[in-house]
Structure 1
Amino acid sequence: MQPPPPVAPKGRHYERLIEQTRTIPAVTCAVAHPCDDASLSGVMDAAEAGMITPILVGPEAKIRAVAEEHGIDLGDVEIVDAAHSHAAAAAAVSLVKAGKAELLMKGSLHTDEIMREVVAREGGLRTERRVSHVFIMDVPSYAEPLFITDAAINIFPDLETKADIIQNAIDLHRGLRLGEPRVAILSAVETVNPKIPGTIDAAALCKMADRGQITGGLLDGPLALDNAVSPEAAAIKNIESPVAGRAQILVVPDLEAGNMLAKNLTFLAGADAAGIVLGARVPIILTSRADSLRTRLASCGVAALFAHHLSAAKPVRS
């Protein structure tokens, strides 16, 4: 029997990412409806760490009341008054669209409220890419940050959507200076089986990468989870691949599978799960009320680093 993998100090991957943010200027972030202790304190902690320069969007009286109740110093932070959560989401998106913010962050409102404004055909932040979510997991027993996608936005992605999901995750991995990622397209098995549609998609996605339709990463699939993250399991199955056993991005077949995988790692393996939405004009930070301070800072840090990368990559107009 193989010995269990060594368990490293919790949060070590996040600490490295957070450390990187000290090398870049703070990024302006529009925060939609930060009207409870968790969301408002998380924003101000990230601001104090020098990651973001927040613009708070929501009912000003309520924001100030929450700050006073919980001893949160707002300093001279800009507040854009908006009557309620729907108005706050719309106003925050408008700030981004006007070029006044390089990041968007969800406060104490439902995810679908802010995402409705993001994907609106008129006035939204759509691009040619499908919007998708990535969990950046800090798993104590895994040697590298582990990306899981998509576990929050696309419920039953088709082949074209999966291609965008993968490209978004690859771009993030490279934008965080983590190098060319090894991408495992997950299924229940490691062989192509016409009775399992996800295995057909996996094979097609790998061929799309061969033909340059997906770029910047090494793809393999279908792979079962054990074959993706365990070198021993991959060896037992005689899988020869630069990805098998060493995956850095796990692409799940649907939202339910991804959500269960991320929560399994969180609650049974002691992992932290920072989250970011990609594919819009700017990165979008989606935090949960259950997130720890470290996870909230990691989400902000990842988004700030990627926003800085996107800004640096924009062509300079002559």
Structure 2
Amino acid sequence: MYKKFEELINTRLNRSRSPKRAVVAGANEDHVLEAVFLAQEKGFATPVLVGDKEKVKDMIQRMNYLNRDYEIVHCEIDENPSEIAVKLIHEGKGDFIVKGKIETKNLLRPILNKETGLNKKGFITHFGLMQLKGYHKLLAISDCAVIPYPTLEDKKKIINEGMEALRKLGYEKPVVGALCAVETVSEKMPETVDAQRLQEMSLSGEFGDGVVIGPISYDLATRKESAKIKGYDSPYAGDVDMLLVPQLVTGNVMSKIWSADPDNIMAGCLVGADIPIVLTSRSASMNEKLYSILLCNMLS
């Protein structure tokens, strides 16, 4: 159990993991350069920078990073830097991709290409990890960036990807709370029906050594006191490792409300592809970008 991202950094160091090659698609952007070089300074990234060579070099000089170890891979103005990043991954010259100055749709297009991309499973979802004030450990949250209205089958895949990510971080038996507005099942609230079915799948062993509980409200998933008051009897109440949101808008709004408090930090990446991909909001703080790179390091 990790209480803060700094503990995750210490765990990575204790495992004696070498820095991973972070391929930045669209490296001509100050904040992403600052984040990837800070990650290098902390020992968990080696920058591979895809962009206009002269512009990137000028930026590195202006930011006083010339004495660092890095590689610049030139990208013409009419080229998609993500295509070059994907090619570098295929050639074994990178370990994960970082979104730089590029639109998300352009980042994903080469990754999702059925013939030359990095999507053998055919399913990519967003995985967030939150250092949340008031919660006793880092809390994962399911897709708030990619799949707008996940079906039951999508939710099953999202849980599998989230549990796999948590296991790579060291969680032996991940606990997922399937969030709903209420704890009872109602046909008028389809997400409660899905949550019940997912819990049944968990009880039958479909998620391996992992647990899904639901339907469950946010307060019961994160606060034991609320569960006691409401008479919700579950050993996992107030202690979940991951929240499964019923649809994208729920997770998106939750994460942005959390992020309004500077004490809260959210790392985010895409999982399910052949390699993890750093994907943060354009308004993400430096710490959020830094810890997203850390997260990809530990998942790659």
Same fold (TM over 0.5): yes
Q: Give the aligned partner of residue 75 of structure 1.
A: 68
Give the total of aligned pairs: 297
Deviation at 1:85, TM superposition (A): 7.6
Deviation at 1:12, TM superposition (A): 5.5
CA contact (8 A) 2:46 2:69 kept: no
Matched, 1:17 2:46: no
CA contact (8 A) 1:185 1:251 kept: yes
Match of 2:181 among 176, 182, 188: 188
Matched, 1:155 2:148: yes
Identity %: 33
Whole-angstrom CA distance in 1 between matches of 2:262 and 2:136: 14
Whole-angstrom CA distance in 1 between matches of 2:232 and 2:78: 50
- Pair 74,180 (structure 1): closer, same or farther in 2 beyond 3 Å: farther
CA contact (8 A) 2:31 2:286 kept: no
Whole-angstrom CA distance in 1 between matches of 2:129 and 2:90: 26
Whole-angstrom CA distance in 2 between matches of 1:45 and 1:126: 29
The 10-residue stretch of structure 1 (188-197 or 73-82) with the greater mean CA deviation from structure 2: 73-82
Whole-angstrom CA distance in 2 between matches of 1:129 and 1:20: 31
Deviation at 1:268, TM superposition (A): 4.5
Query: How does 1:176-255 map onto structure 2 within 5 Å?
Result: 176-255=169-248
The SS at the match of 2:266 is strand
Q: Give the aligned partner of residue 175 of structure 1.
A: 168
Matched, 1:103 2:96: yes
Deviation at 1:127, TM superposition (A): 2.6
Q: Which sections of structure 2, spanning at least 5 residues, go unmatched?
A: none
Whole-angstrom CA distance in 1 between matches of 2:91 and 2:76: 20
CA contact (8 A) 1:133 1:277 kept: yes
Q: Give the aligned partner of residue 44 of structure 1.
A: 37
Q: Which runs of 4+ in 1 moved over 6 A?
A: none
CA contact (8 A) 1:182 1:242 kept: no
The SS at the match of 1:108 is coil
Whole-angstrom CA distance in 2 between matches of 1:16 and 1:51: 14
The SS at the match of 1:152 is coil
Whole-angstrom CA distance in 2 between matches of 1:74 and 1:285: 25
TM-score of the superposed pair, with normalisation by structure 2: 0.93
Matched, 1:296 2:289: yes
Deviation at 1:171, TM superposition (A): 1.0
Matched, 1:145 2:126: no
The SS at the match of 2:57 is helix
The SS at the match of 1:47 is helix
Deviation at 1:113, TM superposition (A): 1.4
* Aligned AA (2:12): T
- Pair 255,30 (structure 1): closer, same or farther in 2 beyond 3 Å: same
Q: Give the aligned partner of residue 54 of structure 1.
A: 47
Whole-angstrom CA distance in 1 between matches of 2:43 and 2:129: 21
CA RMSD of aligned residues (A): 1.9
Deviation at 1:74, TM superposition (A): 6.0
Q: Which sections of structure 1, spanning at least 5 residues, go unmatched?
A: 1-10, 308-318
TM-score of the superposed pair, with normalisation by structure 1: 0.88
Q: Give the aligned partner of residue 89 of structure 1.
A: 82
Deviation at 1:76, TM superposition (A): 4.1
